């Protein structure tokens, strides 16, 4: 595997749900996170971005299963590791923060203790060392009065502060890769900017990498160096931020970017139609039903990701 | 509708003057504090026009909605509809007021009774349409569904069987069912996918022209505000800190909070240095009831002692552009951008 | 038309198909089958019973099970099989009626209480606490001693015991609903508090009530049999499972097991199938919501 690549997802497939309503949430998604880079994955509902992230860390719910593909990290396929080996990876090599921080923390234990526990588990530190490390992390995250805050419980934290605490917990063992799934959604706008700056600062400082999942292009544009666009369980376009935003080549990316702007007559752009039913097998391009310049071949043949420019991949017959 | 006399031609369709609402919040077992959710709010809405309320959590916009819809009683100030105060309507013609002011909710799935089919929900919202008999109501429900772009087969479905965008369309249809004049839009698209948001906004714009509706739009999404609103009020902790036409406030924000808010949403477009200068620090604070100074205290990058001491009033600094900050013009000159 | 787009088409909803398949599998399960048999026995007892269940025939007392008397005869010479069939009517109808009464009273009170809160709610809570403080058997004894030993009183006693259960359950389901957006929306549409509770709150509480229903019936059947066992229920010679067990209990040591065992089996099967049904319903209901 290329040494400058930290994480490589190849043709990942994930299914979820009970036997009678099985949903193919991820259908052959591929992407790469380079060392020291920050990849933003953009997708709307049904794109499979969260499932992909969970599959990477083998955190899928009981009814979910990775049914194909591989996730390469450090020369190993994470999908094939045993649970014990994965536990050593989570928190130490790859960490994750989730959307609703207050409910992602255990309500029964003080926040400082939860952070300290992670540190003790991976680094074998003493209780005292771990406690101090936890306070130091909370301080580094800009939480005022960290010693007192460490003794507080999650429900006593505001949304923004809880998110900072979660990031502290994720970064306490200095992982190589941080996966952040909609870390700022639901927070006040002024807080969102603060949290994003915080993540970016710490990632850059520790020379780690970031996999940021969001539905908001502005968030990705602000914090990332690379971008991948997912739709209906597949990656339709990926490349550097400048390339994907500046020279969008997938019709979906182009249509989505238009939605983020305002048209001249003050109407908002939208994409007609809906995401296809993910319970059935799809033939052809998943975006065919909503693509304006669609042709017959789009409905019949499935387009694979190909490199149309150095380091710029698109899944479209006509890019 | 029945015969209504307006109190003169100048009367706005819906008007709030000095609207105030307090809540008693339990902070601990023994302590309860008074929280002023809405503090002296004043605005007016006209047919075919949209005013936007912008703010983050704790600014009071949800409370304003409940007050305007008559779901809650205010503690101070007057709400007038067609020139007559709300008290008049609730005693003389409560159904008429209820019909006239409706709401579209933020989360479509939570705003529908899961036990009722779409058709049943629409019919349920026509309780106030005394002017229609049962058959007419059934026809009207179908007509509304089609007007919002859904086939009439959707009437048999249940809320859980529809996508967010489809259900929000029903939400719009439901708000229109009583034949209102004013619609309160509470973040109507923030729970929806980006690619669907435009569909709902454009629908709302069409309906506004068709029915001459007045909209009160609550949103933090600048694109939506720019596309829909004519006038905007920026709220912070229950107070209006800046108001004016959309072009003025969004292009040339004056209040430090508005600047900070816009900087946060224009994420990616302003460079880091510019953002740092106007950055609003920390989180929304709970301020003591007797505090009289500027509510943005300890968060404002331009704060001085006088800001904490003196109560800040809303002042007209430019034609139809008001700010609640004595330093606003000074800051503008300092941070020429 | 929106943006020149075609009105969105309807896709076939797969959910309905799934629900129907579930229903079929569910209808053929053991608890449902057993319960159906019991209910049918109760309904068609007059047609199915080979002998008169209430006329004593001293000459035929305590005969073991045979082709003539499938379950044998009891100490009064009455055919146990016929009596078990007729007893099903009493046990099942008293149990179901009392639970339904409990729901009829408890549900609206619980919904209203949970919705309006305030003083009404406080009063309701204190009343339910008092009601639940009564030990059931002692309470039954007191009422029967005062008002007499008959089926109506039995039903009312059991209904009384069920009211607080459903009141509290419905109230606890109502509490989170009170804050929801669809209630707010219904208010905007012109609902009064009363119509809100009736139209929007109560239907949303039906699901947990439904899954609790058969569990309550199982308990009620056991209560009816238990009370009759200690002499507080039905009077001889009316056939009722509990009193039949009581009568037959003393004969077991003489080797005459059939007067007690067959009615006991009936109680067991009824309680089991109602319980199993209740648990299945809970699982289906909780998974789908």
C-alpha to C-alpha distance for C48 and C51, rounded to whole angstroms: 9
* Alpha-carbon radius of gyration of chain C: 24
Local structure of residue C197 (DSSP, 8 states): I
Using an 8 Å CB-CB cutoff, list residues of chain A that contact chain B: 44-45, 158, 160-161, 188-194, 196, 215-219, 221-222, 255-256, 259-262, 266-272, 274-275
pLDDT bin (cut points 50, 70, 90) of residue A190 is confident
Could you give the strand order of the β-sheet that contains B76-81, starting from the edge strand earlier in sequence? B32-45, B14-26, B76-81, B84-85
What is the pLDDT averaged over residues C50-66?
Answer: 83
Q: Is residue B237 within 8 Å of residue B219, measured between CB atoms?
A: no
Nearest residue of B to residue C9, measured between CA atoms: B151
What is the pLDDT averaged over residues A191-195?
Answer: 86
C-alpha to C-alpha distance for B36 and B237, rounded to whole angstroms: 8
State the CATH class of domain B14-251.
alpha beta
Does the pLDDT of residue B272 top 70, yes or no?
A: no
User: What pairing do the DSSP bridges indicate for beta strands A226-231 and A38-42?
Assistant: parallel
Q: Is residue C159 within 8 Å of residue C98, measured between CB atoms?
A: yes
pLDDT bin (cut points 50, 70, 90) of residue A262 is low
**Residue of B67, B72, B93, B110 to mutate, interface with C, max C Cβ within 10 Å:** B110
Cis link prior to B24 (omega < 30° from 0)? no
Local structure of residue B109 (DSSP, 8 states): G
Mean pLDDT of chain B: 85
User: What residues of chain C lie within 8 A of the CB of A267, using their CB?
Assistant: 3
Looking at the DSSP assignment, which residues form a beta bridge with residue A39?
A211, A226
C-alpha to C-alpha distance for C43 and B5, rounded to whole angstroms: 68
CA distance C4 to chain A (A): 9
Does the pLDDT of residue C5 top 60, yes or no?
A: no
The ipTM is 0.84
Q: Contact B195/A44, CB-based, under 8 Å?
A: yes
Nearest residue of A to residue B59, measured between CA atoms: A188
- CATH 3.40.50.300 residue ranges of chain B are 14-251
**Residue of B52, B164, B194 to mutate, interface with A, max A Cβ within 10 Å:** B194
Q: Give residues with Cβ within 8 angstroms of B225, minimum separation 6.
A: B52, B54, B217, B219, B232, B246, B250
Write out pLDDT tens, residues A216-257. Answer: 888 898 889 999 999 999 999 999 999 999 899 999 999 998
The 3-state DSSP class for residue B2 equals: coil
Nearest residue of A to residue C9, measured between CA atoms: A273
Q: Of A58, A80, A72, nearest to A14 (Cα)? A: A58
C-alpha to C-alpha distance for C115 and C197, rounded to whole angstroms: 7
User: What residues of chain C lie within 8 A of the CB of B125, using their CB?
Assistant: 185-186, 188-190
Q: Count other Cβ atoms within 10 Å, centred on residue B101.
A: 27
Nearest residue of C to residue A274, measured between CA atoms: C8
CA distance C47 to chain B (A): 42
Q: Of C45, C35, C31, C36, nearest to C81 (Cα)? A: C45
User: What pairing do the DSSP bridges indicate for beta strands B50-54 and B214-218?
Assistant: parallel
pLDDT bin (cut points 50, 70, 90) of residue B11 is low
C-alpha to C-alpha distance for B197 and C281, rounded to whole angstroms: 39
Rounded to a whole number of angstroms, the distance between the first and last alpha carbons of chain B is 51
Q: Give the pair of three-digit tokens for residue B12.
A: 């706005």
Higher pLDDT, B311 or B126: B126
Nearest residue of A to residue C15, measured between CA atoms: A21
Does the pLDDT of residue B7 top 50, yes or no?
A: no
Mean pLDDT of chain C: 83
Going from the C-alpha of A288 to that of each of A43, A251, B234, the distances in angstroms are 17, 10, 42
Q: Contact A255/B195, CB-based, under 8 Å?
A: yes
Q: Contact C3/A279, CB-based, under 8 Å?
A: no
Write out pLDDT tens, residues A104-148. Answer: 899 999 999 999 999 999 998 899 999 999 999 999 998 989 999
Q: Contact A274/C8, CB-based, under 8 Å?
A: yes
Using an 8 Å CB-CB cutoff, list residues of chain A that contact chain C: 20-21, 267, 270, 272-274, 277, 279
C-alpha to C-alpha distance for C158 and B147, rounded to whole angstroms: 54
Q: Is residue B200 within 8 Å of residue B227, measured between CB atoms?
A: no
User: What residues of chain A lie within 8 A of the CB of B267, using their CB?
Assistant: 192-193, 196, 218-219, 221-222
Assign 3-state DSSP to chain B and report helix, strand, coil percentages, each to 5: 40, 20, 40
Architecture of domain C69-288: Orthogonal Bundle (1.10)
Q: Contact A215/B223, CB-based, under 8 Å?
A: no
Whether B267 has its CB under 8 Å from any CB of chain C: the answer is no
Local structure of residue B83 (DSSP, 8 states): T
C-alpha to C-alpha distance for A317 and A309, rounded to whole angstroms: 15
Q: Count other Cβ atoms within 10 Å, centred on residue B298.
A: 10
CA distance A282 to chain C (A): 16
What's the gap between Cα B16 and its chain centre?
Answer: 13
CA distance C286 to chain A (A): 14
Domain that includes residue A250, residue range? 5-82+209-314
Give the total number of structural domains in chain A. 1
- Which of B57, B193, B279 lies nearest to residue A44, judging by beta carbons? B193
- Which of C5, C11, C18 lies nearest to residue A20, judging by beta carbons? C18
C-alpha to C-alpha distance for B223 and A260, rounded to whole angstroms: 8
The 3-state DSSP class for residue A48 equals: coil
Residue with tokens 């107070």: B239
* Residue A218 belongs to domain with CATH number: 3.40.50.300
Subunits in contact with chain A (3 or more CB pairs closer than 8 Å)? B, C
Q: Is residue A189 packed enough to be buried (19+ CB in 10 Å), middle (13-18) or exposed (0-12)?
A: buried
Could you give the strand order of the β-sheet that contains A306-309, starting from the edge strand earlier in sequence? A94-97, A177-181, A209-214, A38-42, A226-231, A234-240, A312-314, A306-309
Q: Give the pair of three-digit tokens for residue C93.
A: 């109808």
Residue A113 lies in a domain: no
Nearest residue of A to residue B57, measured between CA atoms: A188
Q: Contact C14/A21, CB-based, under 8 Å?
A: yes
Whether C13 has its CB under 8 Å from any CB of chain B: the answer is yes
Whether B124 has its CB under 8 Å from any CB of chain C: the answer is yes
The whole-number pLDDT of residue C52 equals: 82
The 3-state DSSP class for residue C263 equals: helix
Residue with tokens 């960290």: A146
The whole-number pLDDT of residue B262 equals: 84
The most distant pair of C-alpha atoms in chain A lies apart, rounded to whole Å, by 66
Write out pLDDT tens, residues B186-226. Answer: 999 988 888 889 899 999 999 999 999 999 999 988 889 98
- Which of C3, C8, C21 lies nearest to residue A270, judging by beta carbons? C3
Q: Contact B267/A259, CB-based, under 8 Å?
A: no
C-alpha to C-alpha distance for A149 and A142, rounded to whole angstroms: 11
């Amino acid at each position: 595997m290329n040494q400058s690549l930290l994480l490589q997802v190849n043709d990942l497939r994930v299914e979820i749900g009970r036997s009678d309503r099985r949903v193919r949430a991820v259908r052959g998604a591929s992407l790469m996170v380079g060392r020291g880079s920050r990849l933003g994955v953009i997708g709307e509902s049904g794109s499979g971005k969260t499932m992909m992230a969970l599959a990477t860390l083998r955190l899928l719910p009981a009814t979910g299963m990775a049914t194909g593909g591989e996730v390469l990290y450090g020369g190993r396929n994470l999908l094939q590791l045993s649970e014990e080996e994965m536990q050593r990876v989570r928190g130490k090599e790859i960490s994750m923060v989730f959307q609703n921080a207050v409910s992602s923390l255990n309500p029964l234990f003080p926040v400082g203790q939860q952070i300290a526990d992670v540190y003790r588990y991976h680094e074998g530190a003493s209780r005292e060392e771990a406690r101090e490390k936890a306070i130091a992390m909370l301080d580094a995250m800009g939480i005022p009065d960290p010693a007192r805050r460490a003794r507080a419980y999650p429900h006593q934290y505001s949304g923004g502060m809880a998110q900072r605490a979660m990031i502290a917990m994720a970064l306490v063992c200095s992982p190589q890769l941080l996966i952040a799934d909609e870390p700022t959604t639901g927070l006040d706008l002024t807080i969102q900017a603060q949290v994003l700056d915080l993540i970016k600062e710490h990632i850059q400082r520790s020379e780690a990498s970031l996999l940021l999942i969001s539905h908001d292009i502005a968030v990705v544009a602000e914090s990332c160096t690379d971008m991948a666009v997912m739709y209906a369980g597949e990656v339709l376009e990926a490349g550097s931020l400048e390339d994907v935003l500046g020279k969008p080549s997938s019709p979906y990316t182009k249509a989505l970017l238009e939605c983020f702007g305002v048209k001249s007559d003050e109407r908002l752009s939208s994409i007609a139609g809906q995401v296809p039913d993910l319970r059935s097998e799809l033939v052809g391009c998943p975006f065919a039903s909503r693509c304006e310049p669609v042709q017959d071949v789009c409905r019949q043949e499935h387009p694979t990701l190909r490199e149309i420019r150095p380091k710029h991949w698109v899944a479209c017959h006509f890019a | 509708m029945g015969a209504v006399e307006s109190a003169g031609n100048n009367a706005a369709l819906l008007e709030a003057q000095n609207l105030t609402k307090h809540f008693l919040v339990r902070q601990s077992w023994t302590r309860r504090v008074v929280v002023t959710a809405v503090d002296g709010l004043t605005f007016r809405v006209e047919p075919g026009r949209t005013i936007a309320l912008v703010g983050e959590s704790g600014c009071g916009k949800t409370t304003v909605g409940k007050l305007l819809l008559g779901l809650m009683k205010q503690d101070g100030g007057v709400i007038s509809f067609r020139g007559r105060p709300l008290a008049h309507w609730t005693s003389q013609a409560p159904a008429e007021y209820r019909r006239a002011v409706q709401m579209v909710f933020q989360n479509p799935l939570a705003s529908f009774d899961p036990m009722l089919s779409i058709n049943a929900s629409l019919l349920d919202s026509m309780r106030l349409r005394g002017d229609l008999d049962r058959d007419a109501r059934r026809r009207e429900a179908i007509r509304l569904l089609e007007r919002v772009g859904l086939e009439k087969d959707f009437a048999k479905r249940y809320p859980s069987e529809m996508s967010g965008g489809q259900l929000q369309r029903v939400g719009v249809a439901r708000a229109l069912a009583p034949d209102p004049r004013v619609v309160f839009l509470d973040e109507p698209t923030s729970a929806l996918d980006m690619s669907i948001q435009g569909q709902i906004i454009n629908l709302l714009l069409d309906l506004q022209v068709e029915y001459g509706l007045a909209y009160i739009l609550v949103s933090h999404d600048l694109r939506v505000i720019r596309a829909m609103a004519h006038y905007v009020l920026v709220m912070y902790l229950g107070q209006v800190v800046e108001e004016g036409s959309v072009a003025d406030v969004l292009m040339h924000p004056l209040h430090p909070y508005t600047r900070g808010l816009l900087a946060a949403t224009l994420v990616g477009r302003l460079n880091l240095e510019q953002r740092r200068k106007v950055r609003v620090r920390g989180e929304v604070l709970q301020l003591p009831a007797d505090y009289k100074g500027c509510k943005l205290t300890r968060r404002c990058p331009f704060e001085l002692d006088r800001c904490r001491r003196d109560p800040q009033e809303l002042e007209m600094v430019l034609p139809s552009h008001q700010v609640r900050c004595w330093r606003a013009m000074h800051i503008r000159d300092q941070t020429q951008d | 038309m929106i943006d020149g787009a075609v009105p969105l088409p309807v896709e076939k909803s797969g959910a309905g198909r799934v629900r129907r398949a579930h229903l079929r599998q569910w209808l053929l399960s053991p608890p449902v089958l057993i319960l159906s048999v019991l209910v049918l026995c109760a309904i068609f007892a007059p047609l199915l019973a080979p002998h008169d269940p209430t006329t004593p025939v001293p000459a035929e007392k305590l005969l073991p099970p045979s082709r003539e008397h499938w379950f044998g005869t009891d100490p009064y010479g009455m055919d146990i099989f016929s009596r078990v069939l007729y007893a099903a009517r009493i046990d099942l109808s008293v149990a179901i009626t009392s639970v339904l009464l409990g729901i009829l009273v408890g549900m609206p009170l619980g919904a209203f209480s949970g919705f309006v809160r305030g003083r009404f709610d406080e009063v309701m809570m204190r009343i339910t606490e008092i009601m639940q403080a009564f030990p059931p058997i002692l309470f039954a004894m007191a009422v029967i001693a005062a008002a007499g030993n008959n089926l109506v009183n039995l039903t009312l006693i059991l209904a009384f015991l069920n009211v607080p259960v459903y009141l509290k359950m419905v109230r606890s389901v109502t509490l989170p609903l009170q804050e929801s957006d669809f209630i707010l929306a219904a208010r905007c549409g012109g609902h009064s508090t009363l119509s809100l509770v009736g139209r929007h709150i109560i239907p949303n509480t039906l699901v947990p009530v439904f899954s609790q229903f058969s569990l309550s019936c199982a308990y009620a059947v056991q209560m009816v049999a238990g009370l009759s066992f200690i002499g507080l229920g039905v009077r001889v010679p009316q056939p009722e499972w509990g009193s039949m067990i009581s009568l037959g209990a003393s004969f077991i040591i003489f080797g005459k097991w059939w007067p007690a065992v067959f009615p006991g089996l009936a109680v067991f099967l009824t309680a089991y199938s109602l319980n199993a049904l209740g648990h299945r319903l809970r699982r289906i209901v909780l998974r789908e919501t």
